[in-house]
Amino acid sequence: MAVTMPRGSLQVKSIQNYIDGRFVSSKREFADVNPADGTVIAQVAEADRDQVDAAVQAGRRALRGEWGRIGVRERAALLQRVAEGIESRFDCFVAAEVADTGKPISLASKLDVPRAAANFRVFADLIKTSGLESFQTETPDGKRALNYAVRKPLGVVGIITPWNLPLLLLTWKVAPALACGNAVVVKPSEDTPATAALLAEVMQQAGIPNGVYNAVHGFGPGSAGEFLTQHPDVNAMTFTGESQTGAAIMKTVAASVKPVSFELGGKNAAIAFADCDFDETASGVAEAVFMNTGQVCLCAERVYVERPIFEQFVQALKRKAESLKIGSPLEKMTDLGPLISSQHREKVLSYYRLATEEGAVAVTGGGVPQFGNSLDHGFYVQPTIYTGLQESARCVKEEIFGPVCHVAPFDTEEEAVHMANDTKYGLAASIWTSNLKRAHRVAQEMNVGITWVNCWFLRDLRTPFGGVGLSGIGREGGVHSLNFYSELNNICVRL
Ligand code: NAD
Ligand code: 6OH
């Protein structure tokens, strides 16, 4: 068993690595902490270099064995079984994700766990139906040749993921990697190891051959994350996390010229024009700022509002923030849980202090809520709205990754576009307007990977997903994922 749970309790006690179809402990362990009250919920085995190597070698063996020989139809059927396995243990996945992240149970039930199952279903379907281009070529001697490409797996893919949407982001990479016939070694965040371990149990029960899915636990530098990126037999690295970490991983893998796919940080803008549907926009922007306590890479931390509705909009956003129910993630009505860790809370609070030093006006929040119970040991902060900062302020330029935004007025469309694009990041933007032509015009001006119009985080898993600038390298989603997780071998046949 990867995860042992005492009867009658949701508390996880011990989380092990999953290597070559077996759960294995390590010499060293680290604590997994519940961010809602600071209690230790599990001891986690920290994989050493030899164990990471064993996981990679298990992947290589799997590719040479049964997994390397089975056809696309059977692979797709196995992925469907994994999706069913997640659904059949839905409550268990929700409980583990809530305990690890502190996110509200409503969010884990609505977003994280259903998306994990959907990730497997979408790529199971896609791999069966996707085709590749072919060309009939005229040769210099007047004859013909036929060019067509076939997909081959990359080999062993290293997958490193963050703590904010642990299962969703892990399966977003595992599903297409397996659909393309690779073996994977995943290294989930040290803060949220539980669902990757539960997924190992699902893989086992679904009949995924040993060595195809391996999960190693640990940290980044000097630990499992770095051991994985340094491993010479890993054929590609895919990573979601901070831009700086992406840069470190890129440096490590450069020596062996591995393909990389990076989904990194963001400092996303929401632009509300005066002609927007006011109530819909206030609700949509509030969700974009505060979902998952602002710990979604797509969250809006910069809100630009056309001057005629600026004051009214700031007040509407303030009401939304103040009506959010902050509390225990296990309460069905809770909207806002804690931040992931005391360290991350310290980072967010340092930005709250910096905002004041930089001259911001706190419209609401800016501190730590008090509960008078065990939640006071959790890593909560108040949802916070600032106005009055210069566009050059650090709080407007740097990713905070908390329930916080800065709202600024604008007078012209050009000004809004300029401010939204004036960032080193480029992940997502949202535009709120009832003017159709303007919506398309402004959307196409956004220097980002994803632009939403009159919505936010509305996902179709077939679409390209990724960022520009500091927000990432490459696109995943649909056929873009298939293209990253496979090598195309073009075959030219002289006819
Ligand atoms: P992080 O970069 O600190 O950690 C991510 C993962 O990388 C963890 O598993 C960690 O152990 C590992 N790691 C850290 N240093 C490493 C190293 N030197 N070598 C190998 N592995 C290493 O990120 P986080 O704090 O877990 O997540 C929050 C960040 O992730 C935010 O910046 C957020 O914007 C970003 N994010 C981006 C997306 C996206 O799709 N663009 C999605 C989610 C989160
Ligand atoms: C970042 O925190 C959210 C990323 C979302 C996805 O990668 C996705 O596929 O929806």
Cβ pair 483, 144 in contact under 8 A: no
Q: Which residues line ligand 1 (CB under 6 A)?
A: 160-164, 169, 187, 189-190, 219-221, 225-226, 229, 240-242, 245, 248-249, 263-266, 297, 399, 401, 427, 467, 471-472
Spell 371-406 as b/e; 16+ CB within 10 A means b: eeeebebbbbbbbbbbbebeeebebbbbbbbbbbbb
Question: Hey, what's the torsion of the CAs at 263, 269, 270, 275, to 10 degrees?
Answer: -130
Work out whether the CA dihedral 102, 105, 108, 111 comes out positive or negative: negative
Quote the strand ranges of 397-480, DSSP E.
Answer: 404-410, 428-432, 450-453, 472-473
Does the structure show a pLDDT above 90 at 345?
Answer: yes
Instruction: Say what the pLDDT of residue 5 is.
Output: 45
Helix (H, G, I), strand (E, B) or coil at 422: coil
CA nearest ligand 1 atom 40, residue? 263
Classify burial at 259, counting beta carbons within 10 Å of its beta carbon; exposed 0-12, middle 13-18, buried 19 or more.
middle
Does the structure show a pLDDT above 50 at 323?
Answer: yes
Instruction: Say what the pLDDT of residue 13 is.
Output: 82
SS3 letters across 238-252: EEECCHHHHHHHHHH
CA nearest ligand 2 atom 9, residue? 172
Q: Which atom of ligand 2 is nearest to the CA of 162?
A: 2
**Element housing 357 (H / E):** helix 342-357
| 75 Cα–ligand 1 center, Å | 29
Distance of CA 327 to the CA centre of its chain: 24
2-6, 24-28, 437-441, 488-492: which range is least confident on average? Answer: 2-6
Does the structure show a pLDDT above 50 at 7?
Answer: no
> What integer is the mean pLDDT of 308-324?
98
> What integer is the mean pLDDT of 136-150?
97
Does the structure show a pLDDT above 50 at 10?
Answer: no
Instruction: Say what the pLDDT of residue 2 is.
Output: 53
Does the structure show a pLDDT above 50 at 164?
Answer: yes
**pTM given for the model:** 0.96
d(CA 336, CA 328): 8
Q: What is the pLDDT of the chain when averaged over all its residues? A: 96
d(CA 370, CA 72): 54
- Condensed to tens digits (0 to 9), the pLDDT of residues 352-379 reads 999 999 999 999 999 999 999 999 999 9
